[in-house]
Structure 1
Amino acid sequence: MKYIFGIILLSMSFFAYSCDKSDDPFSESELKKAGHPRILLLEGEEQQIQDLINSDETWQKMHEAILEKSNELLGTDVLERKMVGRRLLGTSREALKRIFYLAYAYRMTGYEKYLNRVQTEMVAVCGFSDWNPSHFLDVGEMTMAVAIGYDWLFADLSEDTRLAARQAILEKGLKASKTGEHWWINSENNWNQVCHAGMVYGALAVQEDYPDLAKEMIDRAFDKIPKAMNEYAPDGVYPEGYAYWGYGTSFNVLFLSAVEKIFNDDKGLTDLPGFLKTGDFMKHMLTPTGGSFTWSDSGTGTGLNPAMFWFAMRTVNPSVLWSEKRFLDTDDFDKFKSIRYLPALMIWGKNIPLSNITEPEEKMWVGQGRNPVAMMRSAWDTEAIYMGLKAGSPSVNHGHMDVGSFVMEADGKRWAADLGSQSYESLESLGMQIFGKTQDAERWTIFRMNNFSHNVLIVDDQHQRVDGYAKIDRYSDNENFMFSISDISTVYNGQLKSAKRGVAIKDLEYSIIRDEFETLDKTTKVRWQIVTASDVDLGEKQAILTQGGKQLTLKVQGSDNLEMRTWSTAPTTNYDAKNPGTIIVGFECEIPANTKAFFEVLMVPESSAAEGSFFNKTLEVW
């Protein structure tokens, strides 16, 4: 569906919808606020943030952290146009952070030092030869940065700064998005969200001077952003993982928050299936150790996500923020200074008392979609058992050959891990083509991206099939036996007749992983493995994992000829990243032709009151 509305100038200061009155109930509505500022934070709303700061120590500390960072920025060198490989993205992101922070600081304090530095930064980046349209993320973030400075500080900017910003937004941002071919316009990933959001901010900032172009940019965004928002369907899973959720979704929310503020409506975008559910997805993605359920090109780090406060506000559900609340329980607010859109947190969080954030009742969450996942835990504390199972396909954007992979935590340690992403620049600088999705793509020669670095079955030392796909076929949230099962046969097409994996938490005490498969008409070597940051002591059909003074026992049941083994994670090429402190542990065996076989593996933490007994039930009767 195409979302169309116009922006026209009324008395040089008001927007109104250009739709016919009979078709659009908002045709007679006016903007909540005329003129500038009109993006995110209207004139006078600073007092709402001040009231929040005055009433809550945590929010006061966050506000002070933004001001401290703004003061630090006063002593830094002004940004220059520095490319890293084919990207200007680092500079664009730094510009967004600087301008956002400094503009916030000026609006909250009125101190001229912040205004002066914002103008210096804006003039500098607006003087760049271009904002690197060949990698349009760079343009999207830079346009948003300059738009915020231009709109928020419009009345106090010098005429020269306004002119420079207005022309740069026009030529280096909006018009650049119309010149040449831009695949991101119709994409289904974070590029769509980031770039369209940036163009809309630019359009909103300069609409009174370029009303027709502004209308075109906003119409286009409302038409195209649903392509990316549909990726959350049906349950809220973001297929690119935790880190990319933080990127794509944050810019999607920046877009929605801005248009809702201006038009008092989002034209039904938040009603798209799954989008408002994604807050619960992210709540469960944070693991007991404070890490994330990691998959695909997502990194291993975690941190405060300001956009989560928008979801809590929009759904009137503070419990969505339970995992985020952990990040706020700290005396070190310096770590938040790296979040370039942190001031938005003060806007989205201004009506959410932290005391209203209560512990979730559910211990399991399952979502289908492009990369279905199931996540379960024994409790919502830092020592709990956590199991996360990933299905999906390697062909999903930023995908790895990790279908059937899982992470497992207990006793405050991650026992089954994912190595995460490798720096794109480290590979692209060697001339590698790292974003191919075909079976023979160079991407799959990279250790962290292929199945040899993941907690999956490996059959005859072959790669998983990129055209395969698996969903979560069945699950239960019964606390005596929480489980999820996925038929992963299609990613082993031509290697096995069939394959299924089930993962479970038994009696809230230990984990079970059961694999059932059938071989083709040939003897087949099958490897079962996990990546771990533990010391490993192998035994007869078991392994003792030791980490930080704690232990976990891996117990194995299956073929009589299975051999317990470890494999190194050290790079064997000049391009693979190092993986210090990690090792692969598991077993492999040969299975005769046309044979139905199974593996059952227990992961029993040292703290468990149970010794861990094999369940000895087929997946069909789980």
Structure 2
Amino acid sequence: MTMTHTTVDLYRIHDRRDELLARAKSVHFAKWWAQFLAAQEREYANPAWPEIPGLGEKSREAALGARHARLLSASGRLEALAFAYALTGDARFAKHAREIAMCLAVDETPWMDPVVHKAIYPELNADLGYATLCYRVAASLGWLAPTLDDADKGRLLDLLADRAAVIHSDAERGAWWGDAPNSNWTSHLMHGLGAAALALWPSRPEVARPWSAMATDRMRRMLDLAREEGAGLEGVGYYMGCYLWPLMYGTELRNVTGENLFEHEFWRKCALFPLYHTLPDLSGRTPVGDSHYPGLGGSAFLAGVAREARDGIAQWQVHRMYERSGPGMLDLVFYDPTVPEVAPETLPPCRVFHSVQIASFRSGWDKDAVYGYFHGGSNSWSHCHLDLNEFTIDAYGERLAIDHGSWNYTPHYFWTVEPQISTAWHNTVVVDGADQRQVPRYRMSYDAREGGDCYSLLEQYLGCPEIQMLRGDATTAYADMLDRCWREFVFLPPDRFVVYDNLATNGARVQRHFQWLLHSPHPMTECGDRIEVRGSKAKLVVQPVFPTGWRCRFPDRLARAHALPDRPLHECQCLSLYPPWIHIWNESPSKPPYPQWDDRGGVRVYGPDYQYLVVLSPQRAQAEVDWRLEPLQAPGVEGVRITAGDRVDTVVFKRQGGDYAVGPVTSNAEKVVIRERAGQVTALAVWNGSRLAHNGCVLLDEPAPVNRAVVRGGR
């Protein structure tokens, strides 16, 4: 008896043909659709399985890499041609797609990347590219099914069964990505397994059902892990891909089995995470970790979120992305034009994602807004850089204090700390030229403390419309050298940041070398008591208040970048602020007194406490510096008073002690921020204080310490 093979159209493209063709001609898709069809016309003239020039002359490793690249390219061509056929019915596209599919089915090239990933994970047999191949074959099979005979269907179903079994086997044997619900590898591999299982669902239920059950379980666990805020910990670039796979699998699963993953609360929350990473001018998102800049990728993910959650904020982002770079094939599948977009103006401009230790601040939702980003987290998290307590600043359509983001991956990336990953290439504090601590990447939860002693927790958040402030405690990441590493980050809307680093060295009898670093793509100039970062549209005025006697230098970043082959060169300047540094031999005993390491010789020469207090003011390029700073200092207390016309901001930090009086402030609070206009206090924030007076006027008198941020005067 001859078996008849039943296939599945995972996205019901054939059933939705009229709907999708009408959408393809709509305003968002018409240009892309014409280009897509033209590309398939050109593809039709290409050989199904092109020869690789010079293959016989390549080394074994290079030849394997070239063959694997051809395999992945062929699968992408197959998917596009099959999709074009399913919508247009053009038999030429189907014919060429079938030729590619049959070549792919008999090609003996390993589906796992044989050069990089196999070297890193020799015990495994499946990787990201492997999962992509499984999905593309599964989807293309359903789209091409009307043109395939039963033998062709059988060959492709056999191929899927054979390859999906490898993913399942690796996961059962303990592959790390088989149980890593915070990793894009898990979602990607489980999608490959799940798509193949669903394609096999009608014809091979004995394998399809347990494989789909595994994929569904892992996807649900990923959504559960992110349920609190819909946030991710691998950087926003990887986030967009990591959660695209559950979106795709959820769609496929519902179409085939009726099971619904979209009832999960993750989908109703997740649109805000990329939104608060998006720069005001829409040129990209904050490229922390291995994320990239420029560009707003991930429109298909947000289109699906808008559709499933009826989320207008997601739809607003989708439309802005279409305006800048256009849609893609999956956008046509997921986009729902009936979801009205909702602009973000009604949302708070500032947001802390406590689950992943990320904070985003902005003066508003306009394209010229001032934007600040600050993050903690763990140096055990996947795709992190060694940059805990880093900040970035953008303003008036220009990036001013930047994170480099990721360069291209090479095998070296997995074995050493390349420059762009190091602490010294980020807006951080560097001690003795060393990196922050790190451990092998950990994969189980969002608890920053779980993976090892190399984390920063964002704490002590206070916010009101006039003041935003919080602390990043990265002490464990520096604990080989420091007993305290606290960075206080204060945003005074619309255009002022105050950064205070409270540092304490450990008991080692050495002098620590501190650097406070800031990176920018723009030139930097020292102008007396300040440094100016000068872009074409905006500038960043950097004003160190403490340490007294600070000095600065401008380390060369590009020389190192030019020395490394096969790297995209990122234009970047660096500012290094450092405190007085004593290294001259044979100093007179009168300066300094000896011994140096304790109080027996009098006042210590240096340490153990160090403080940086830096005021950062983004301005338009031609604006004048029309404000002045007044340092405030008392035993155990540092602060600054910023006067600009009739506006005065006072910011005070207490390291130790009880009550204090400094400048106009009398208090016992650990942190105080007071904003004045025309002599009237308009807003204040207090952390862990019960008493506060300003210019003799009592602003706070409580029986016990409170944490409070308020706008006064009815504003």
Query: TM class by shorter-chain length?
Result: 0.7 to 0.9
AA at the equivalent of 2:103: A
Q: Which residue of 2 aligns with 1:345?
A: 331
Shift of 1:473: 1.2
CA distance in 2, matches of 1:324, 1:513: 34
Q: Map 1:500-519 to 2 at 5 A.
A: 500-519=486-505
CA distance in 1, matches of 2:242, 2:540: 37
String of CA shifts for 1:39-83, please: whole Å, max 9, x gaps. 1225422222234345x4113334334323333332344356988
Q: Which residue of 2 aligns with 1:474?
A: 460
Q: Map 1:40-189 to 2 at 5 A.
A: 40-41=11-12, 43-53=14-24, 56-79=26-49, 90-91=69-70, 93-133=72-112, 134-175=125-166, 177-178=168-169, 182-188=175-181, 189=183
1:380 and 2:351 correspond: no
**Which one of 527, 552, 567 corresponds to residue 555 of structure 2?**
567
Q: Which residue of 2 aligns with 1:492?
A: 478
CA distance in 2, matches of 1:61, 1:349: 16
**Which one of 350, 365, 375 corresponds to residue 390 of structure 1?**
375
Q: Which residue of 1 aligns with 2:651?
A: 616
Q: Map 1:529-544 to 2 at 5 A.
A: 529-544=517-532
Aligned CA RMSD, in angstroms, stands at 3.0
CA distance in 2, matches of 1:524, 1:261: 62
AA at the equivalent of 1:520: N
CA distance in 1, matches of 2:35, 2:496: 41
CA distance in 2, matches of 1:101, 1:517: 56
1:600 and 2:596 correspond: no
Task: Please tell me whether the aligned partners of residues 495 and 617 of structure 2 are also in contact (alpha carbons under 8 angstroms).
Answer: no
AA at the equivalent of 1:301: P
Shift of 1:232: 2.6
Structure-2 change in CA distance of 1:565 and 1:85 (3 Å): farther
Q: Map 1:228-239 to 2 at 5 A.
A: 228-239=222-233
SS at match of 1:421: coil
1:212 and 2:200 correspond: no
String of CA shifts for 1:434-454, please: whole Å, max 9, x gaps. 44xxxxxx523x111110111
Task: Please tell me whether the aligned partners of residues 306 and 336 of structure 2 are also in contact (alpha carbons under 8 angstroms).
Answer: no
1:459 and 2:444 correspond: no
AA at the equivalent of 1:599: L
Aligned residues: 566
Report 1 or 2 for greater relative contact order, CA contacts < 8 Å, sequence distance ≥ 6.
1
Structure having the higher strand fraction is: 2
SS at match of 2:331: helix
SS at match of 2:420: coil
CA distance in 2, matches of 1:404, 1:237: 18
1:303 and 2:354 correspond: no
Worse-superposed segment, 178-187 or 453-462: 178-187
SS at match of 2:383: coil
Shift of 1:231: 4.6
1:288 and 2:280 correspond: yes
TM-score, normalised to structure 1's length? 0.83
CA distance in 2, matches of 1:235, 1:150: 37
AA at the equivalent of 2:12: L
Structure-2 change in CA distance of 1:68 and 1:375 (3 Å): farther
Q: Map 1:581-600 to 2 at 5 A.
A: 581-590=571-580, 592-595=606-609, 597-600=611-614
Q: Which residue of 1 aligns with 2:354?
A: 368
SS at match of 1:161: helix
Task: Please tell me whether the aligned partners of residues 314 and 341 of structure 2 are also in contact (alpha carbons under 8 angstroms).
Answer: no
Q: Which residue of 2 aligns with 1:25?
A: none
CA distance in 1, matches of 2:212, 2:435: 43
Shift of 1:282: 0.8
AA at the equivalent of 2:525: D
CA distance in 1, matches of 2:304, 2:352: 22
Task: Please tell me whether the aligned partners of residues 498 and 613 of structure 2 are also in contact (alpha carbons under 8 angstroms).
Answer: no
SS at match of 1:278: coil
String of CA shifts for 1:519-543, please: whole Å, max 9, x gaps. 3345432211111111111133311
SS at match of 2:534: strand
AA at the equivalent of 2:331: L
CA distance in 1, matches of 2:338, 2:500: 43
Shift of 1:142: 0.4
Worse-superposed segment, 238-247 or 594-603: 594-603
Q: Map 1:389-408 to 2 at 5 A.
A: 389-408=374-393
SS at match of 1:153: helix
CA distance in 1, matches of 2:101, 2:615: 58
CA distance in 2, matches of 1:581, 1:312: 36
AA at the equivalent of 2:464: N
Q: Map 1:242-321 to 2 at 5 A.
A: 242-266=236-260, 270-271=264-265, 274=266, 276-289=268-281, 290-305=283-298, 306-321=300-315
Unaligned runs of at least 5 residues, structure 2: 53-60, 113-124, 439-452, 582-605, 630-641, 643-649, 654-669, 673-684, 686-715
Structure-2 change in CA distance of 1:218 and 1:581 (3 Å): same
Shift of 1:463: 1.6
AA at the equivalent of 2:431: V
Task: Please tell me whether the aligned partners of residues 308 and 320 of structure 1 are also in contact (alpha carbons under 8 angstroms).
Answer: yes
Shift of 1:197: 0.4
String of CA shifts for 1:555-610, please: whole Å, max 9, x gaps. 11101121121111135465794644211113111582232524223233136798
Q: Map 1:318-333 to 2 at 5 A.
A: 318-330=312-324, 333=326
AA at the equivalent of 1:617: V
Structure-2 change in CA distance of 1:294 and 1:464 (3 Å): same
Structure-2 change in CA distance of 1:86 and 1:386 (3 Å): farther
Shift of 1:349: 0.8
Structure-2 change in CA distance of 1:451 and 1:379 (3 Å): same
TM-score, normalised to structure 2's length? 0.73
1:224 and 2:218 correspond: yes
CA distance in 2, matches of 1:362, 1:498: 32
